[in-house]
Amino acid sequence: MTEKFIPLIDRRQQQTRPAIPEQLSAPSGVLSDALGRGLHDLRISVTDRCNFRCVYCMPRQVFDKDYQFLPQTALLNFEEITRIARIFVAHGVRKIRLTGGEPLLRKNIEKLIAMLAALRTVDGQTLDLTLTTNGSLLARKAQSLKDAGLTRLTVSLDALDENIFQRMNDAEFSAAEVLDGIAAAAEAGLGPIKVNMVVKAGLNDQEIVPMARHFKDTPHILRFIEYMDVGASNGWKMDEVLPSDEVLRRIEAAGMPLTPVAANYSGETATRWHHAGGSGEIGVISSVTHAFCRDCSRARLSTEGKLYTCLFASHGHDLRALLRDPAAYSDLELSNVIAAIWHARTDRYSELRSEHTAALQSDRKKIEMSYIGG
């Protein structure tokens, strides 16, 4: 019997408690890292729990019934999350995405959405407030999410074929239930809805064309994501990556020609395409074969308040320790801590991986996607 190795516990403990800078200054609404990249997007993980066991994120052989998830007291409460989010917004963040785990498992998530929806950007605009979900609870929650102030949704759907879908998610949920959730979200006004398909070669890549056909001529945006080496529990291998170029080739070979579309904004993760002569948008996220680190403007906050400056990070900065410190640090002090962390940011893992994949895979221990959010 092979001994099971669970890498996540130690990774969660590798945190850095930030120091308060000696010189404090008010946020200007513009923040750049060491490579000149701005800060515009904050992704907040609200839970490390999920009711799926997707093979690329929370495989059951690691996240089984004995796995120790974080206790409730370790999680940031809604007031703490909102306080940090307000400081990030003062530094120029315009978009906040709630992730997990599965964020809809967080009790009273609508209350947090309402608190975040009340924030305003430095120029007085409402935030682009989005959420990523596996769709399992979406049909019953879509309207309450919209009513709370959520603006858009991203739904994960890795196959339409029920057998393939359940091999991917390893849970008792059907693709039909996810499609029902997408329909409910569209009816509630949470569009345009992005539908994400992680493509793992040899497992679900035969679903590329059926997915493209299904969502063609709909208002939804279908995005194909290369299978990524996030964390260590998914047993990532380069030969299981199907390049996005091949995804596009298969779609066009199936009689669905595509026309390139300009990016919506600098740093957008997906390369965009429209169906020629019809409607419907397709995106490809190519973090393995076409790295986009040079424009990355995203920070990530874990469910227990650790700030990560890269999806492939090996350690975080412990903001929760400052939030709950008896010294009662001010927002100005926390703001300067965040600014100092971002100013020092040099992350460009995907670009380096493109040059030194084998060495980075063997030497670098990364945090899990289920903990930091996608």
pLDDT digits (tens, 9 = 90+) for 284-298: 998 787 776 778 899
Residues 336 and 255: their CA atoms lie apart, in Å, by: 54
CB atoms closer than 10 angstroms to residue 155: 22
Q: CA 249 to CA 209: how far, in whole Å? A: 10
- How many residues would you count in the chain? 374
**Please, which residues bridge with residue 222 across strands?**
195, 282
In the numeric block, which tokens belong to residue 271? 């390369």
More confident residue, 5 or 32: 32
**Residue 254 pLDDT grade (very low, low, confident, very high; cuts 50, 70, 90):** very high
3-state class of 33 per DSSP?
coil
What local confidence, expressed as pLDDT, does residue 310 receive? 86
Tokens of 130: 């989005």
* 2 pLDDT tier (thresholds 50, 70, 90): very low
Which range, of 14-23, 123-132, 353-362, averages the lowest pLDDT? 353-362
Whether 15 has a pLDDT exceeding 70, the answer reads no
Which range is least confidently modeled, 1-5, 77-81, 314-318? 1-5
DSSP 348: -
Dump strand ranges (E) for the chain: 15-16, 41-45, 95-99, 128-133, 152-156, 194-199, 221-226, 258-261, 271-275, 281-285, 298-301, 306-308, 316-318
* Contact present, 368 and 233 (Cβ < 8 Å): yes
CATH classification (class only), 34-372: alpha beta
Preceding amide of 101 cis, omega within 30: yes
- Name the 3-class secondary structure at 198: strand
Residue 57's pLDDT band, with cuts at 50, 70 and 90, is confident
pLDDT of residue 364: 52
Query: Is 60 exceeded by the pLDDT of residue 4?
Result: no
Can you give the pLDDT at residue 298? 93
Q: Tell me the pLDDT of the chain averaged across its residues.
A: 88
Nearest to 154 by CA among 114, 120, 181: 181
In the prediction, which pLDDT does 232 show? 53
Task: Collect all residues with Cβ–Cβ distance below 8 Å to 124 and sequence separation of at least 6.
Answer: none
Q: What is the pTM of this model?
A: 0.89
